[in-house]
């Protein structure tokens, strides 16, 4: 169901608790990759330009309810201030008298960034008291952190029990595009799934078998499907306990009419390290001791040809061990095919996004989702707590 967004309400003079996803990599006390910070700028600027004051809340890393100095948000505040060209006041706490005093002094256009919300033990437990304290002095809650929408935490779902909750512009766009993938996709619909494990994506595979015209499978998860077809996989990584499930999915594909394409050739190596010797073999020619670590050139050609015929392409998960050259070639070939295609393209998952950034192709993708697990769970059809907590458009 569509959700109400900040574009549906008057935010002038309001104090807004804005959940953002500033879970960014830090190196030497500085932000290494500011992609997620930049993704939040549209919503932040929209609210500031309309006279709101902002209380930003985010997590960083996994401190598990303990204060970890290396996971403080000071570097994030500095980078955000640089990008906005205005001051961002960083507080050293999430809740408490000092935070309340700072919020009470906010005027339109002011920005406060609270400390890492996962320093609080109650955050991941969705503690009602923490949620109440977060919401206490704000007029409105806005969730713009799609990457955490599958978590029922105090700052993603709990606060919506105390103040009105709306979608930010990024959250709204995620819901719109990912819903389109399921409800009104372009045709032919081509879905590409990679990554290591079938177990992470069984329900996504099943969902797209019912929706897609063609499903391409690569990466480590392809090894499990090849094993399900009876191939001996040598020392390749695959999930032995998921082989039967993979076989069932292949049978379901025959019933659904979705064409499933698996690798016809594979890059194999004895040792997974940069520039190690490798060979290109068919699935029935993997020798003992060898590991399948990328799709081969013929498979890359076939996958790229399928991309060229698609009206919409959805991609999650690399097709080989991209971070270890030369086993990046399959992922690169398909990425370049998508960039050159006229199809509407949707990419989700940090590993593929990192590959696209590295190749300089990210700007050629129609939409890059900021979610990892959240994107997969959305496509599975699960209810995401961070979205469910937002006001429905039809209820107004």
Residue 206: active-site member = no
- 40 CA to centre of own chain: 14
The torsion of the CA quartet 97, 133, 173, 48, rounded to 10 degrees, works out to -30
Q: Copy the structure tokens of residue 186.
A: 């372009």
Q: Which of 257, 289, 350, 381 is catalytic?
A: 350
Return the bridge partners of 111, or none.
54
Beta strands, E only, the chain: 15-19, 26-27, 30-31, 53-57, 89-90, 111-113, 140-143, 165-167, 189-193, 214-217, 259-261, 266-269, 278-281, 291-295, 312-316, 344-348, 367-368
Q: Which of 36, 118, 173, 391 is catalytic?
A: 36
Residue 29: active-site member = no
Q: Which of 197, 206, 301, 302 is catalytic?
A: 197
Cα 273–Cα 24–Cα 359 angle in degrees, nearest 5: 50
Nearest to 354 by CA among 345, 365, 344: 365
Q: Which of 109, 161, 311, 373 is catalytic?
A: 373
Alpha carbon distances (Å) from 236 to 204, 232, 243, 267, 286: 23, 9, 14, 11, 9
Q: Quick check: 140 and 163 in contact, CB under 8 A?
A: yes
Query: Distance (Å, rounded) from C-alpha 292 to C-alpha 286?
Result: 8
Residue 186: active-site member = no
Residue 89: active-site member = no
Please identify every residue annotated as catalytic: 36, 197, 350, 373
């Amino acid at each position: 169901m569509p959700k109400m967004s900040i574009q549906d309400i008057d935010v002038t003079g309001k104090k807004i608790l804005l959940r953002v996803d500033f879970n960014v990599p830090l190196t030497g006390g500085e932000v290494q990759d500011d992609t997620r910070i930049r993704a939040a700028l549209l919503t932040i600027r929209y609210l500031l330009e309309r006279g709101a004051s902002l209380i930003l809340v985010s997590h960083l890393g996994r401190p598990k309810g303990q204060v970890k100095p290396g996971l403080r948000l000071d570097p994030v505040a500095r980078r955000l201030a640089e990008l906005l060209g205005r001051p961002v006041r960083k507080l050293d706490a999430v809740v408490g008298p000092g935070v309340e005093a700072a919020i009470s002094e906010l005027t339109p256009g002011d920005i406060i960034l609270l400390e890492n919300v996962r320093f609080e033990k109650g955050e991941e437990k969705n503690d009602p008291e923490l949620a109440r304290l977060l919401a206490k002095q704000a007029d409105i809650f806005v969730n713009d952190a799609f990457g955490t929408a599958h978590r029922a935490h105090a700052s993603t779902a709990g606060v919506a029990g105390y103040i009105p909750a709306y979608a930010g512009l990024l959250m709204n766009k995620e819901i719109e595009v990912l819903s389109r993938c399921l409800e009104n996709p372009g045709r032919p619909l081509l879905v590409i799934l990679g990554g290591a494990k079938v177990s992470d994506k069984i329900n996504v595979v099943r969902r797209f078998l019912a929706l897609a015209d063609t499903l391409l499978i690569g990466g480590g998860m392809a090894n499990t499907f090849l094993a399900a077809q009876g191939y001996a996989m040598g020392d390749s990584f695959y999930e032995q306990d998921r082989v039967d499930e993979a076989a069932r999915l292949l049978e379901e594909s025959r019933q659904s009419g979705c064409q499933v394409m698996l690798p016809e050739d594979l890059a194999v190596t004895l040792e997974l390290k940069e520039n190690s010797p490798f060979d290109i073999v068919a699935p029935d020619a993997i020798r003992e001791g060898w590991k399948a670590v990328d799709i081969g050139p013929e498979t890359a050609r076939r996958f790229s040809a399928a991309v060229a015929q698609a009206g919409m392409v959805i991609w999650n998960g690399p097709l080989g061990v991209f971070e270890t050259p030369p086993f990046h070639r399959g992922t690169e070939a398909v990425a370049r095919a998508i960039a050159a295609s006229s199809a509407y393209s949707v990419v989700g998952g940090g590993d593929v996004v990192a590959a696209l950034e590295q190749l300089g192709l990210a700007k050629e993708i129609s939409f890059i989702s900021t979610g990892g697990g959240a994107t997969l769970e959305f496509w599975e059809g699960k209810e995401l707590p961070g979205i469910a907590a937002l006001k429905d458009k039809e209820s107004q």
